Structure 1
Amino acid sequence: MIQIAVFSDVHGNLPALEAVLDDMEKRGIHQKFCLGDLVDFAPWGNEVIEKIRDLNIPCLMGNHDERIAFDIPVVPLPKHSEEETIARFIAIDHSKKQITDDHKRFLSELPFHLQLNYKVGAKHWSLQLVHSSLSSNDTYLYESEDDEVFVDMLEESRSDIIVMGHTHLSFKKRIGNQWAINCGSVGRSKEENRLASYLILTLDEEAISPEIIQLHYPVEKTVRQIRESGIPDYYAGFLRNENVSVL
């Protein structure tokens, strides 16, 4: 049996990341993978990057990582309210000013996706990790998508399971003997409970067993630090689920 942990979308929320990593350690899970979006919306972007680097956790390039690394302009998204649009511009500009040049360089060198192959007994399992899809790190794929969307991705990658993040909404979708899974978000969950989320995959010779783990963390510490930083209070209210958009 092999166990691996997959997490995504930390978004500068160090207390949430520490809670997730501590839980993995308690469970004795040593193989960890991050699907990207280390920065934006909470004030510990540099510290999160340092933690990922220090622990040598393989990490993909999320769309926010790419934007900060290459100073890509922010464009409004139709799904966002006017309040969120204004807050988003300010928060991302804050990251562009605060993330160090060394950390921007680290983000710029992250891989776009990653394929893993594990052998358990006589069985080889192929796992495809992406931030959002095979061709983009900014595509929104939800559990409600037609199965064909995920079947195409599984066939293109020749994998038994594809794991993604980006939407901040976790799900497990079994399609025949294959899986499409979203591991949710560590630091900016859009689920009603706002808990820090990650995925454990247990591989044995017969099957892959996925489990979504959701954890409490000291959210008030993050809320307080957001309010003491240059990041808009909108994101503190979001973590408290105070009547703000979840799109």
Structure 2
Amino acid sequence: MIQIAVFSDVHGNLPALEVVLDDIEQRGIRQKYCLGDLVDFAPWGNEVIEKIRNLNIPCLMGNHDERIAFDVPVIPLNKHSEEETAARILAIDHSKKYITKENKTFLSELPFHLKLNYKVGKKHWNIQLVHSSLESNDTYLYESENDEVFQNMLCESQSDVIMMGHTHRSFKKYFNGKWAINSGSVGRSREENRLASYVILTLDEEKITPEIIQLDYPLEKVVQEIEKSEIPNYYASFLRNEKLSVF
């Protein structure tokens, strides 16, 4: 048996990341992967990047990582309210200002995809890691998406499991021995509970068993630090799950 922990979308939330990493450590899981989006929306972008670097955790380039690394302009999204669009621009500009040159270089060199192959007994398991899809790191695929979309991704990647993040909403879908799984978000969950989310994959010779783990973290501490920072208070209210015009 092999266990793998996969997490995504930390978004500068160091306290949430530390809770997730501590939980992984306590479970004795040594294989860890991050699906990207280390920065934006909470004050610890540099600290999160340095934690991932220092622990040598393989990490993908999320759309926010790419934006900060290469100074990509913010394009308003139809799904965002005017309030969220304005806050998003200010928060991303904050990251562009404060993320160090060294950390931007690190983000710029992250891989777009990772394909893993683990051998358990006589069985080889292929696991495809993406931030959001095979073609893009900015495609929104929710649990409600037509099953054919995920089945095509599994077929195209020739994988037994495809792991994704980006939407900040966790799910797992099973297709005749294969899985499409979203790990949710560590630092900026869009789920009602706002908990830090990650996935454990347990690989046996006969099957893969995924488990979505959701954890409390010192959310109020994060909220207070956002309010003290130059990051818009919109993101503090979001974490508190106060009524906002959000998708």
TM-score, with normalisation over the residues of structure 1? 0.99
Cα deviation 1:2-45 (Å, max 9, x = unaligned): 00000000000000000000000000011100000000000000
Inter-partner Cα distance in structure 2 for 1:122 and 1:77: 47
Equivalent-residue separation in structure 2 for 1:62 and 1:168 (angstroms): 12
Alignment of 1:192 onto 2:210: no
* Total equivalences in the alignment: 247
Map Cα deviations across residues 100-125 of structure 1 (whole Å, 9 max, x no partner). 00000000000000000000001000
1:121-163 Cα distance to aligned partner (Å, 9 max, x none): 0100000000000010000001111111011111111000000
Quote the residue 1:224 is aligned against: 224
Q: CA deviation at 1:245?
A: 4.0
For 1:160-199, list aligned pairs within 5 A. Answer: 160-199=160-199
Whole-Å separation in 2 of the counterparts to 1:232 and 1:111: 30
Code of the residue aligned with 2:218 in structure 1: it is P
- Residues in 1 aligned to 2:107 and 2:150: alpha-carbon distance in whole angstroms: 27
Letter in 2 for 1:193: N
- In 2, the alpha carbon distance for the partners of 1:25 and 1:134 equals 30
Work out whether 1:74 is the aligned partner of 2:74.
yes
Measured after TM superposition, the shift of residue 73 of structure 1 is: 0.4
Compute the displacement of 1:246 (Å).
4.3
* d(CA) in 2 for partners of 1:245, 1:31: 38
Aligned with 1:134: secondary structure? coil
Q: How far apart, CA to CA, are the structure 1 residues paired with 2:61 and 2:246? A: 23
1:93 aligns with: 93
Residues 1-247 of structure 1 correspond to what in structure 2 (within 5 A)?
Answer: 1-247=1-247
Tell me which amino acid in the other structure corresponds to 1:126: N
CA contact (8 A) 2:84 2:246 kept: no
4+ residue segments displaced more than 4 Å:
none
TM-score between both structures, scaled by the size of structure 2: 0.99
Aligned equivalents of 1:140, 1:158: Cα separation in 2: 21
Deviations 1:184-206 (A, max 9, x none): 00000000000000000000001
Instruction: Give distance in 2, aligned partners of 1:110 and 1:225.
Output: 28
Is this contact kept in 1: 2:8–2:185, CA < 8 A? yes
Give the share of equivalent positions with the same residue, in percent.
79
CA separation in 1, counterparts of 2:31 and 2:2? 9
Distance 1:146 1:220 in 2: 37
